């Protein structure tokens, strides 16, 4: 007599009645951490499509001897006539960034909503929740991107300038004239890791910090939001590559491991120019729809704690449920309208690309 076996019943539903074993869970494998979005404070509410602010500078130190009793000339600003009184508003510049709208849409048909499924049983609710997570990732990637400022048209929306543009020492879209360019990032505040064979030495990093200090004038605490390759390079400051054996690098450790604990991860770097907290990220330097690659792994932004870098919202993050006018099913969207503002200009910022 034939015997029923697990092989004859099958391991998936069949005419013999074998049941499937499918967990009632749904786990995401994608990156969901958004350190920039969490780190940057919220500024005042935006009220126009172009959010602007003023920056000012100080003149160079000067200390000539003043002749006692010398009368000072005041001409009221008459052109071509010497005047001993100064206009202290000439160094001011007006900077700004455009509002960009981001949205994610979702829809579920009536039959799909009614069918029993594994994982969250409410397909519409889970679709909305996923869209909100995707929108937060979109914001994070936009903040850390090289997107440049542009005004929208009937065929394309407004775009803001991301941190890659704000920290570019050669930028002329935000810093469009000589007065504004005094407030942009300086050349030595950006290190080109990709152009240096994907390598960065401790001296390179120290020079970057020194350059930011010399232009910002404050040895403050920093956050370095960085891709994996940058984090690895900084961790390598704890060891020296002394030789290559059988094709593998050999290292000489620069620390005492007498306590039996080998610490090669650098979570905080204390320099002459300030304390730097390392924050890893996988969403820097992306283009819209891009994938993780060398450009993203080599990207990092140095953000002083007092840099006045902030997010301003024309419309906060919100979800909108739309009516079902044609019987096709429930649908909705999540949306926000925001911009990134460097209210002290770019001189306090550093970058690695």
DSSP 236: G
- At 239-280, the pLDDT tens digits run 665 556 666 665 555 566 667 666 667 788 888 888 999 999
Considering the domain boundaries, does residue 81 fall inside one? no
In degrees and rounded to multiples of 5, residue 249 shows phi and psi of -70, 145
- Residue 119's pLDDT is what? 83
The answer to the question of residue 11 being in a domain is: no
Residue 326 has pLDDT above 70, yes or no: yes
Q: Indicate the pLDDT class of residue 346, thresholds 50, 70 and 90.
A: very high
Choose between 50 and 58: higher pLDDT. 50
pLDDT score, position 30: 78
Residue that is written with structure tokens 């679709």 in the block: 127
The more confident residue out of 226 and 327 is 226
For range 139-158, the mean pLDDT: 95
Give tens-digit pLDDT for 89-133.
989 999 999 999 999 999 999 998 888 888 888 899 999 999 999
Residue whose tokens read 């729809």: 289
Kindly state whether residue 21 falls inside one of the protein's structural domains: no
Residue 18: inside a domain, yes or no?
no
Predicted pLDDT of residue 342: 96
Q: Tell me if 243 is assigned to some domain.
A: yes
Q: Is residue 62 part of a domain?
A: no
The per-residue pLDDT for 320 is 95
Measure CA of the first residue to CA of the last residue in the chain; give whole Å.
Answer: 73
The dihedral through the CA atoms of 237, 238, 243, 247 has a sign that is: negative
DSSP one-letter string for 122-190: -HHHHHHHHHHHHHHHHHHHHHTS----B---SSS--B---HHHHT-TT--SSS-SHHHHTTSPPGGGE
Say how far apart CA 95 and CA 77 lie, in whole Å: 26
Residue 272: which CATH number? 3.90.1690
d(CA 296, CA 154): 31
At 74 the pLDDT is 87
- As a whole number of angstroms, the distance between CA 276 and CA 220 comes to 9
Give me the number of domains the chain comprises: 1
Tell me the mean pLDDT in the region 5-17: 67
What's this model's pTM, rounded to 2 decimal places? 0.88
Tokens of 97: 């960034």
Domain that holds residue 209: 35-56+88-254+263-352
Highest mean pLDDT among 1-10, 123-132, 209-218: 123-132
Q: Is residue 78 part of a domain?
A: no
> Token pair 């770097």 is at which residue?
269
Judge whether 333 lies within some domain. yes
CA angle 170, 174, 175 (to 5 degrees): 60
Q: Are 94 and 100 in contact (CB under 8 A)?
A: no
The pLDDT score that the predictor gives to residue 118 is 83
């Amino acid at each position: 007599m034939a015997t029923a076996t697990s092989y004859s019943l099958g391991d998936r539903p069949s005419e013999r009645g074998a049941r499937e074993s499918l967990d009632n869970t749904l786990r995401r494998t994608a990156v969901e951490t958004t350190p920039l979005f969490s780190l940057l404070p919220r500024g005042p509410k935006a009220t126009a499509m172009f959010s602007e602010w003023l920056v000012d500078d100080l003149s160079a130190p000067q200390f000539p001897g003043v002749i006692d009793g010398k009368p000072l000339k005041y001409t009221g600003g008459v052109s071509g006539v010497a005047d001993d009184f100064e206009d202290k508003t000439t160094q001011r510049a007006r900077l700004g960034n455009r509002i960009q709208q981001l949205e994610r849409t979702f829809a579920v048909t009536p039959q799909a909503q009614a069918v029993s499924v594994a994982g969250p049983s409410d397909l519409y609710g889970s679709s909305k929740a996923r869209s909100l997570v995707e929108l937060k990732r979109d914001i994070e990637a936009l903040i850390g991107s090289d997107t440049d400022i542009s005004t929208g048209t009937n065929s394309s929306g407004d775009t803001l300038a991301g941190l890659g543009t704000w920290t570019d020492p050669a930028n002329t879209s935000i810093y469009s004239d000589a007065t504004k360019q005094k407030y942009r990032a300086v050349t030595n505040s950006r290190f080109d890791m990709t152009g240096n064979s994907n390598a960065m030495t401790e001296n390179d990093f120290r020079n970057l910090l020194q350059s930011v200090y010399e232009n910002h004038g404050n040895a403050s605490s920093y956050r370095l939001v960085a891709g994996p390759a940058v984090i690895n390079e900084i961790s390598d400051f704890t060891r020296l590559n002394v030789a290559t054996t059988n094709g593998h690098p050999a290292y000489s450790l620069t620390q005492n491991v007498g306590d039996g604990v080998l610490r090669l991860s650098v979570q905080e770097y204390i320099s002459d120019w300030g304390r730097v907290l390392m924050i890893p990220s996988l969403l820097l330097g992306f283009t819209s729809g891009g994938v993780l690659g060398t450009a993203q792994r080599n990207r990092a932004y140095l953000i002083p704690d007092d840099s006045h870098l902030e997010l301003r919202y024309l419309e906060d993050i919100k979800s909108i449920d739309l009516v079902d006018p044609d019987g096709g099913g429930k649908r909705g969207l999540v949306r926000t309208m925001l911009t990134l503002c460097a209210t002290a200009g770019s001189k306090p910022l550093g970058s690695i690309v």
